[in-house]
Amino acid sequence: MSIEETEQEITEEFALFGTDWEGKYEHLIDLGRSLPLIAGELKTEDRLIKGCQSKVWLHSRLENGLVFFSADSDAIITKGIVALMVRVLSGHTPAEIVAAKLGFIDQIGLKEHLSPTRANGLVSMIKQMKLDALAFQLKA
């Protein structure tokens, strides 16, 4: 599935809740609960995303030309947000990740319903994931 197709799928999921942000937050929490955990030994200081209020660990690896992400957070909403980002970007080429527009974030109204610190954390997550993908792209 392409990045755009996954974004569309997420947009449709969140549309089911209409304007009910309590339901959307519950969905985010559920997504966080379903996030495959990052291995404990990968929860190191150098994998913490800078700019997040909560602790968010991100690990990326390149396998057969595709980037795979694993992540974890100590906050339930933030864990749901990083789960969304892993779902959208994991399993794609570095070039696809770097070029991703990620319009679904605005389409589902996520940024406008996050506190300023969480919104900054989301921007930091995206930036780190794209930087990791760019590093893999440059190594190739």
Out of 3, 35, 52, 126, pick the active-site residue. 52
39-98 per-position pLDDT tens digit: 889 999 999 998 878 999 999 999 999 999 999 999 999 999 999 999 999 999 999 999
Known catalytic residue: 52?
yes
Beta strands in the chain (DSSP E): 56-63, 66-73
User: What span, in angstroms and rounded, lies between the C-alpha atoms of 60 and 78?
Assistant: 18
User: What span, in angstroms and rounded, lies between the C-alpha atoms of 39 and 17?
Assistant: 33
Predicted TM-score (pTM) of this structure: 0.94
Give, in order, the Cα–Cα distances in Å from 81 to each of 24, 64, 65, 140. Answer: 11, 26, 25, 29
User: What span, in angstroms and rounded, lies between the C-alpha atoms of 113 and 110?
Assistant: 5
Q: Supply the pLDDT for residue 133.
A: 98
75-87 per-position pLDDT tens digit: 999 999 999 999 9
